[in-house]
Amino acid sequence: MRSKAGNVQRVCGEFNLSRQAYYQSIQAEQASNFTEEIIIQKVKELRKIHKRRGTRKLFEDLTDFFTSNVIKIGRDALFDLLRINQMLVRRRKSRVITTDSKHRYKKYPNLIRELEVYGPNKLWVSDITYVRYGESFAYLSLITDVYSRKIVGFNLSKDLKSTSPIRALKMAIAGTEKRKLEGLIHHSDRGVQYCCDEYVKMLKDNCIRISMTENPDPLENAVAERVNGIIKNEYELEVFKSYNELSKYVVECIFDYNNFRRHNSVENMTPNEAHQQTGLIQRMWKNYWKQNNETSVA
């Protein structure tokens, strides 16, 4: 006991600290370690549902938890904590080609360059993304409202035929008032699925204008690409062994996405909340992922 007291006295003398300050510093360090462990466990809990939820979204999800537990931590500090504990989400780079633009059908010009959208049902973007299950691939067709980021139509298929995108389009049209379709722009790549007669006819029959990318640059359909990434990666679609399991889960995760997944690109609202708005919506994001080497989706 004397030895311990002597060590404390020696340390305090060396750093010109009072004993009270010494013990307070130890208590503060212990409290900090305890708080960090609480945060890590809470992140693990959230990632049981969204296995690849990025740090920016985790920070937003945890805001109320931090407030109610009087935990003071910023977004950069959360990045640092997860990096130290090797819990950052890394980008997956594998890719399967889903676009076949070598076909006989008419290809339409890009109508959305520099286009500003100030309300829902002004611009829809469509895309197809692959999803692994077992040793096979399924293909998910998505239609997203650019203003709200709401997925308004979707369909999962075992092949790349036009049937799946057509079903997604039917869902989107059925869920929208007829008068709100007039003048709406539908934007997609130049794949055969979107250029085929049946798909184009459905768009024209509903007074929907047709816009298409003019080169393979993903930036020409950037919102669709981002939503693909959110659904595939944050919701960890590629863990199922059977098509039926995957198909059921897709319905659940898109419901969750539309109702609960907040976007910095729509003032931290959920897609369903943003879909009820009109007028300019401010973006709230910045490129933290470049600094922290992590996947970032708006």
Residue 245: pLDDT band with limits 50, 70, 90: very high
| pLDDT value at 274 more than 90 | yes
CA atoms lying within 13 Å on the CB side of residue 288: 20
Q: Are 106 and 98 in contact (CB under 8 A)?
A: no
**In this predicted structure, what is the pLDDT of residue 76?**
81
Q: Are 229 and 297 in contact (CB under 8 A)?
A: yes
Q: Which residues are CB-neighbours of 92 under 8 A, at least 6 positions away?
A: 233
Structure-model confidence comparison of residues 76 and 246, the more confident one: 246
CA proximity to 153, closest of 208, 90, 220: 208
Structure tokens at 227: 């939503």
If you classify domain 123-292 with CATH, what class do you get?
alpha beta
CA–centroid distance for 176 within its chain: 24
In whole angstroms, give the CA distance from residue 203 to residue 19. Answer: 77
State pLDDT tens for residues 127-169.
999 999 988 999 999 999 999 999 999 999 999 999 999 999 9
pTM of this prediction exceeds 0.85 = no
In whole angstroms, give the CA distance from residue 113 to residue 104. Answer: 25
Ranges in the chain annotated CATH 3.30.420.10? 123-292
State pLDDT tens for residues 205-239.
999 999 999 887 778 899 999 999 899 888 888 78
Burial of 139 (0-12, 13-18, 19+ CB in 10 A): buried
- Do the strands 136-145 and 123-133 form a parallel or antiparallel pair, or are they unpaired? antiparallel
In whole angstroms, give the CA distance from residue 225 to residue 255. Answer: 19
Lowest mean pLDDT among 15-24, 40-49, 125-134, 177-186: 15-24
Q: Which residues are CB-neighbours of 229 under 8 A, at least 6 positions away?
A: 295, 297
Structure-model confidence comparison of residues 198 and 8, the more confident one: 198
Burial of 150 (0-12, 13-18, 19+ CB in 10 A): buried
